[in-house]
Structure 1
Amino acid sequence: MAMVPADVVNEAGVTVVDVREYPDHDEWEVALDLLADFDTGWRPPTAWWDRLIDSAEMMGLSDAAAWCRWGRWESIHRTVRAELRLLSPAEGGRQTPVPGKGILRPLWDIGRRTAAGRPGFARGTHLGGVGAGVAAGRHRVGPPWSAVPSLWRHLQPGMTISMHEGRPTLGTATITETSYAR
């Protein structure tokens, strides 16, 4: 926990001082979850993520370890964060919930166009099993390991991109933060 700057606060308003109380009550999983959320307003180094991954694996928390691996990947490759709104089935959205854990790798209309003027979709990920039609909170949106990060670098906070599964639009995402090196 000494790696986290004292002034960093996660989205829930929790500080590293708050997290220190959980291990005292044998609430190690809660502490790990809160520590993995300290990536807003602070760029955790890969060593931070390595420690969280090791901790999650020692506790047998495979989902938490996978999330921390994603955080580590973001620390190296940068990311785009956005507020995601999924369309309801009545609006043409999915009839079933969006699968989590990186199972769905939707296409994103990020503003590129083909020579014919059609959208030049980019493959990206959506993490966090949000059900169809649910107004979602912050979810990570970014290129998967095999994507070309340079395709995403033009995105800026305030821009809106659309999420697709084939031609139909599944939702829209408004960019809230980018951390690509310029």
Structure 2
Amino acid sequence: MDVPELLEAASLLVPERIATENDLTVNDVWEYLAHDEWEVALDLLEELGDVHQLSLGFWETLATAAEQMRLDRSAAWCHWRGYETRHGIIRADLTLRPAAEARRQTPISGAGVLRPMWSIGHRTATGGPALDIARLWAEFTPFLEPGGHATVRLAPLDPSQWQHLRPGQVITMHEDQSVAGTAVVLEIQRPPATVTS
């Protein structure tokens, strides 16, 4: 399928009753598609997907459209949302340690590239912290500077190891044995019992 067909297919998966904060609906998407405003239609579909939990097929279709339009960040976001549809959502308030106190001296990408380790309460046989890996997506910022602060989403390598997390719990981020940042869990959404495509 080409881009307009993919966007039309994704539009058909959005319930007509949902709207963005600005009262835009899937009918507005159809208007943009009629005028070949594909990128605007894609952005609006992403917004609608953030308002209402949509299917894995919706996110996969949008990711393919974004890839065909060479919109790398949008494609990465749609793949990320597909992962969350399958495995659930973990959001946290992260503060990185300042450059003077940490190994990292450069900003980290906010687009799900970094796969740091996290101390989330597990212990090794000897009683030390057992670290678990999760990719990190910083909301509303392309980069997170040392000492910076952002709301982040986490995509665990093994989601079953993260089932015990609760809002308010403090977890620490590691890029080596030292603490690179501290996060407070804000939100946990379990995946639906059955994920449909």
The normalised TM-score by structure 2 is 0.74
Match of 2:147 in 1: 133
1:14-45: CA deviations, max 9, x gaps? 44339927838765434423432445563221
Identify, as 1 or 2, the structure richer in helix.
2
The normalised TM-score by structure 1 is 0.79
Match of 1:57 in 2: 67
Q: CA deviation at 1:5?
A: 6.3
1:110 aligns to what SS in structure 2?
A: strand
> Aligned pair 1:70/2:70, yes or no?
no
> Aligned pair 1:117/2:97, yes or no?
no
C-alpha distance in 2, partners of 1:172/1:91?
13
Judging changes above 3 Å, is the alpha-carbon distance between structure 1 residues 37 and 141 closer, same or farther for their aligned structure 2 residues?
farther
**1:25-36 superposed matches below 5 A:** 28-36=38-46
Identify, as 1 or 2, the structure richer in strand.
2
Q: Is the 8 A contact 2:90 2:153 kept in 1?
A: yes
Unmatched runs of 5 consecutive residues or more in structure 2: 1-10
Judging changes above 3 Å, is the alpha-carbon distance between structure 1 residues 169 and 18 closer, same or farther for their aligned structure 2 residues?
farther
Task: Kindly provide the amino acid, as one letter, of the partner of residue 135 in structure 1.
Answer: H
Task: Kindly provide the amino acid, as one letter, of the partner of residue 153 in structure 2.
Answer: R
> Aligned pair 1:92/2:102, yes or no?
yes
Q: Sequence identity of aligned pairs in percent?
A: 38
Judging changes above 3 Å, is the alpha-carbon distance between structure 1 residues 41 and 51 closer, same or farther for their aligned structure 2 residues?
same
C-alpha distance in 1, partners of 2:171/2:96?
12
Q: CA deviation at 1:131?
A: 2.0
Q: Is the 8 A contact 1:98 1:104 kept in 2?
A: yes
Task: Kindly provide the amino acid, as one letter, of the partner of residue 20 in structure 1.
Answer: D
Match of 1:17 in 2: 25
Q: Is the 8 A contact 1:32 1:52 kept in 2?
A: yes
1:84-121: CA deviations, max 9, x gaps? 11111133362111134443211000011112111110
C-alpha distance in 1, partners of 2:117/2:39?
33
RMSD: 2.8
C-alpha distance in 1, partners of 2:152/2:27?
22
C-alpha distance in 2, partners of 1:19/1:126?
33
C-alpha distance in 1, partners of 2:101/2:54?
39
Which among 106, 110, 133 is matched to residue 116 of structure 2?
Answer: 106
Task: Kindly provide the amino acid, as one letter, of the partner of residue 63 in structure 1.
Answer: R
Judging changes above 3 Å, is the alpha-carbon distance between structure 1 residues 38 and 166 closer, same or farther for their aligned structure 2 residues?
farther
